[in-house]
Amino acid sequence: MYRVLIPVDDDENRALNQARYAAHLPDSASDVEATVLYVASKRRDIDETDFEAAGSAVAAADYLDSRDVAVDRRIEAGGVSETVLDVAEELDADELVMGGRKRSGVAQALLGSTVRDVFVSTERPVTITGAEMVVEGGAREVLVPVDSNRERTRHQVEYVTGLPNAAEHVTATVLYVFPHQDYRGAPAHEFDDVEAAVETAGSLEEAGVSVERATVGGEVARKILDTAEDRSVDSIVMGGRKRSGVQKALLGSIAQDVMLSADRPVTLTG
């Protein structure tokens, strides 16, 4: 089974989009187990009846029920980020689905602190949905933008091929953006010149996933978003984690720009 952890806050729209994303994973009715988690930030005695008082959590769980997805309702007390990480470890979750995008007073997208804390503290894939995007069902088309870092591309491949029945239901576009090479007279953009991209496409195909190859030149985050829009992909799979000199996980600027600007789910792998 593919285990999905869905930590929700009090925003019902975000919680429902998280649930919709999980419900529209391939073969979700038979192959997905979802846990909807609500964390009470203040430590106190709680029981399962408290879950029913969290309207956003109930809405998410009820939506999953309505789509015949196996769902566990869970409430815990404590620090939010720490509890999410502990539960993900306990469940051995394959994916965390977070509703991380928020809007400031000037409608600028912001990354919630809990999402950032969870992302930089786990090696598990983290998918960011939000309150405004539309998630559709059916076969899943994913955009896999790659750079030259083989460790990150390996994590992207592992995520895509690990989706339920990926060989049957998933089509991947592997994209390499040649930074800032969109000027007149720029060199030709050849996919086969980028070893990490070639290896990524080959690994996906070896796992039975249908692959398209694409290259473009220009500002990297902008071209990723444009390609996602042009190809109407269902989600973007980024290898967003980097490591500092003390091995602390950092969120790369391109991954952050894509995540904050995308109108579709973005999965951050490693």
Q: Which of 36-40, 49-53, 183-187 has the lowest mean pLDDT?
A: 183-187
Chain centre distance of CA 223? 19
Contact 136, 265 (CB under 8 A): no
Q: How many CB atoms lie within 10 A of CB 90?
A: 10
Q: Within this chain, do residues 222 and 257 fall inside the same structural domain, yes or no?
A: yes
DSSP H or E segment with residue 25: none
Q: Within this chain, do residues 95 and 146 fall inside the same structural domain, yes or no?
A: no
| Residue 84 backbone phi and psi in degrees, to 5 | -60, -45
Residue span of the structural domain in which 223 resides: 140-268
**133 domain-assigned:** no
Nearest-Å Rg of the Cα atoms of the chain is 19
Chain centre distance of CA 88? 15
Q: Using 50, 70 and 90 to split pLDDT, how confident is the model at 246?
A: very low
For residue 53 the two structure tokens come to 């008082």
Local structure of residue 213 (DSSP, 8 states): E
Task: Report the percent of the chain where pLDDT is more than 90.
Answer: 61
Q: Within this chain, do residues 190 and 250 fall inside the same structural domain, yes or no?
A: yes
Answer yes or no: is pLDDT of 104 > 50: no
**49 domain-assigned:** yes
CA distance 24 to 12: 18
Q: Within this chain, do residues 55 and 148 fall inside the same structural domain, yes or no?
A: no
| Helix 113-121 with 80-91: angle, nearest 10 deg | 40
Q: Within this chain, do residues 47 and 105 fall inside the same structural domain, yes or no?
A: yes
Answer yes or no: is pLDDT of 46 > 60: yes
Residue 169, pLDDT score:
94
Residue 48, pLDDT score:
57
Contact 148, 252 (CB under 8 A): no
CA distance 116 to 104: 17
Q: Within this chain, do residues 146 and 229 fall inside the same structural domain, yes or no?
A: yes
Q: Tens digits of per-residue pLDDT, 142-185?
A: 999 999 888 899 999 999 999 999 999 999 999 999 987 766 66
Among 94, 128, 162, give the residue marking a domain's end: 128
The length of the chain is 270
Residue 96, pLDDT score:
97
**135 domain-assigned:** no
Name the domain count of the chain: 2
- For 58-116, give the DSSP string: HHHHHHHHHTT-EEEEEEEES-HHHHHHHHHHHHT-SEEEE--EEE-TT--EEE-HHHH
Q: Within this chain, do residues 63 and 146 fall inside the same structural domain, yes or no?
A: no
